[in-house]
Amino acid sequence: MNVESVKPDYTSISNILQEVSDKRMMLPEFQRPFVWSIEQSKDLFDSLMRGIFIGTFVLAKPQFDLSCREIDIRPRSGKGSRAKVNHNYYKTNDFETAKTYVILDGQQRITAIYRVLKGNDKLYFIFKNPENIPAPNNDIESMEQIIDSLSVKPSEDLFSIELKEVFKCATWKDKEIHQKIFEPLIENYKFLKDNNGLAERYLNLILDLKRLFYNLIQDKTLLSVFFLNMGIEKFCMFFERSNSKGTELSFIDIITAKIYKDFKLDKSINEFKENNRAIIFDNSIVEAFVRYISFLKMGQVDRKTILTSLDGSDFQTYWNEICELYKKSYSFIINQKLIFRNDWVPYKTMYIPIMHFLRNIPHKDFSQITPHQMKLFRFWFWGSLLNTRYGGGMIGSTNDIIVDDCNKLCDVVKGNKFPKDYLKQYKFDFKKEDLIELSSNGAIFTGIMAIMNYKVKNLKNLFNNLDIDFESPINIHHIFPTKYLEKNFDEESFENENVDSILNKMIIERIPNIKFGEKRPSEYLKDITSNPDLIKSLSSHIIPSADKLIKGEFDNNFNKFVDERGEQILEIINDEIGKIKIEFMKEFEN
């Protein structure tokens, strides 16, 4: 066939397994790992068993040097599960002389097939019960006639056999199958041990299954495959176009492939992680880096612009600078109490405008901004959280918002104010009912808690009245414990319907020897005997009338508690950000 054409070729499962075993079918180093669950592998084999098309595989013989890794055959858990997968570096000639291909599309399916048939993952054929198996004189032409289902575990009631065993005995003689496979299996099934006639019928079914399964894995027309010779540009183009058609390739995979010749992104990512172990640097941050590079070069951050316009030289130009901007931004939002800790930043793309803001400050130093610029920045940061600005939805495209916010924050550094139409995008008209209904720990929850922490200068530890150490483990604590409300109030009561409201939550560190369980607030608070300033500690969390909470005056009045706390939190939101918007808007009245 013409390897540059789009005409498909065909191959068998048996050939695929042999190529993998001989290490002639490899994975590009930047491909994502094997992530399929055993249930997904089961569904794949169920499709094969029923003759359902499982998609096309795409293999390539690269015309450039490439680091590759072997198929992942590590255990899913336990010993060996974290062992490194073998890697090899291939020169262009190696692909030709060794007849080695890389898997561009289909690695999850190929890996799943290999793991199951080699026994790395266990799947079982579950036979139909004796009443439903075909009569002895019936011709067996499909596995569906004799197999009830596939399972990740053998059935205790229905005769079961592992797929690996059926594959292993594909070329065995009947007598060998009887002795080495069937006899050990029937020891687990009393209904076969006690019935020789039925046992013989199931033995014959195994022989039929072996025949059908052998035909399946040897069928050279079963799997549709494209074999391609590709230079680096076509290699990248494949990723771009296959991604647009919905193939499960991550954004970072595509970029890594596109710039691989001139910039080893994986290596740079690992170097940053190694040198900055205390800093979060996951794929969402890497994606933010890539989008920011695109903004600096093209003024846009959408995927199409990134895939068509960025190259390795852009990463060489900007990568190290952005690393430094990120580290400073990472520390700044914590030091200024804009948020408790960086893993609470709900939208990592928010770092893009932050880094751009910093990049335009003299000497790229946050200490050079004016108080007014800081007020504008704080308004933007908290306003973005309280409006879920980076969460998509009604506000508009996140890509457009990133670009707009980068430009607006750059203007702030230049001495400009936020335009009137821009300010109108931020809304802070919260009502008490909104807070009562706010139960998820998302962007709005994070923003409100951050504003509270900023207002009181730091939330206090209930155990000793020290500032909460947000670098230590923290918990979201229900002030009125869930079990207490469940025990003492009706299931459909206001109390139980709103137990998860933000108004019933506070951030705490672990309190030694205190168990909340079904205790009322006054009961567990009285157990905290080590803190003479407990009222002050509680008040830092905007707890209304903390002394009354300790005395038990709120124990049976959850409604009043959340009502009073809601009023106080709304006042803080208004003081710290609502009034700021009004102040900014008034500047346009003159």
Q: Name the pTM for this structure.
A: 0.67
Confidence of residue 500 (pLDDT cuts 50, 70, 90): very high
Gap between the Cα atoms of 236 and 259, Å rounded: 8
Residue range 187-202: average pLDDT?
A: 91
Amino acid code (one letter) for 337: K
Burial class (CB within 10 angstroms; exposed 0-12, middle 13-18, buried 19+) of 162? middle
User: 228: helix, coil or strand?
Assistant: strand
Confidence of residue 369 (pLDDT cuts 50, 70, 90): very high
What pLDDT is attached to residue 403?
98
Instruction: Report the DSSP pairing between strands 474-478 and 505-509.
Output: antiparallel
Q: E strands of 72-203, at which residues?
A: 87-90, 101-105, 124-127, 147-151, 160-162
Smallest Cα–Cα separation from 454: which of 349, 577, 545, 352?
577
φ, ψ dihedrals at 162, nearest 5°? -70, 140
What pLDDT is attached to residue 32?
79
For the stretch 155-186, pLDDT in tens is 999 999 999 999 999 899 999 999 999 999 99
Residue 508 is given by DSSP the state: E
Greater model confidence, 590 or 325: 325
Smallest Cα–Cα separation from 539: which of 548, 551, 530?
548
285's enclosing H/E stretch is helix 283-298
For the stretch 268-308, pLDDT in tens is 999 999 999 999 999 999 999 999 999 999 999 987 788 77
For the stretch 50-94, pLDDT in tens is 988 898 898 988 877 677 889 999 999 999 998 989 888 787 788
**Contact by Cβ (8 Å): 11, 217:** no
Confidence of residue 529 (pLDDT cuts 50, 70, 90): confident
Whether residue 246 has pLDDT greater than 50: no
Residue 84 is given by DSSP the state: P
Smallest Cα–Cα separation from 509: which of 478, 549, 541, 463?
463
Confidence of residue 245 (pLDDT cuts 50, 70, 90): very low
Whether residue 249 has pLDDT greater than 60: no
Whether residue 441 has pLDDT greater than 90: no
What pLDDT is attached to residue 233?
58
Confidence of residue 2 (pLDDT cuts 50, 70, 90): very low
What pLDDT is attached to residue 1?
36
- For 347-389, the DSSP string reads -GGGHHHHHHHHHHSGGG-GGGS-HHHHHHHHHHHHHHHHTTT
Q: Which residues contact 129 (CB under 8 A, 6 or more apart)?
A: 148, 157, 158
* Distances from the Cα of 197 to the Cα of 81, 128, 130, 201, angstroms: 44, 16, 11, 6
Smallest Cα–Cα separation from 188: which of 222, 223, 231, 159?
159
Whether residue 247 has pLDDT greater than 50: no
For the stretch 413-437, pLDDT in tens is 999 999 999 999 999 999 999 999 9
**Contact by Cβ (8 Å): 160, 149:** no
For the stretch 326-340, pLDDT in tens is 999 999 999 999 999
**Contact by Cβ (8 Å): 180, 152:** no
Smallest Cα–Cα separation from 549: which of 538, 541, 540?
538
Residue range 133-142: average pLDDT?
A: 90
- For 51-66, the DSSP string reads T----EEEEEEESS-E
Residue range 4-14: average pLDDT?
A: 73
User: How far is Cα of residue 490 from the mean position of the Cα atoms in its chain?
Assistant: 37
User: 317: helix, coil or strand?
Assistant: helix
For the stretch 466-495, pLDDT in tens is 999 999 889 999 999 999 999 999 999 999
Confidence of residue 232 (pLDDT cuts 50, 70, 90): low
What pLDDT is attached to residue 397?
82
For the stretch 17-27, pLDDT in tens is 999 999 999 99
User: 95: helix, coil or strand?
Assistant: helix
User: 67: helix, coil or strand?
Assistant: strand
Q: Look over the chain and give the mean of its residue pLDDT values, rounded to a whole number.
A: 90
Residue range 319-328: average pLDDT?
A: 99
Gap between the Cα atoms of 405 and 384, Å rounded: 10
What pLDDT is attached to residue 395?
56
What pLDDT is attached to residue 343?
94
478's enclosing H/E stretch is strand 474-478
Residue range 129-146: average pLDDT?
A: 92
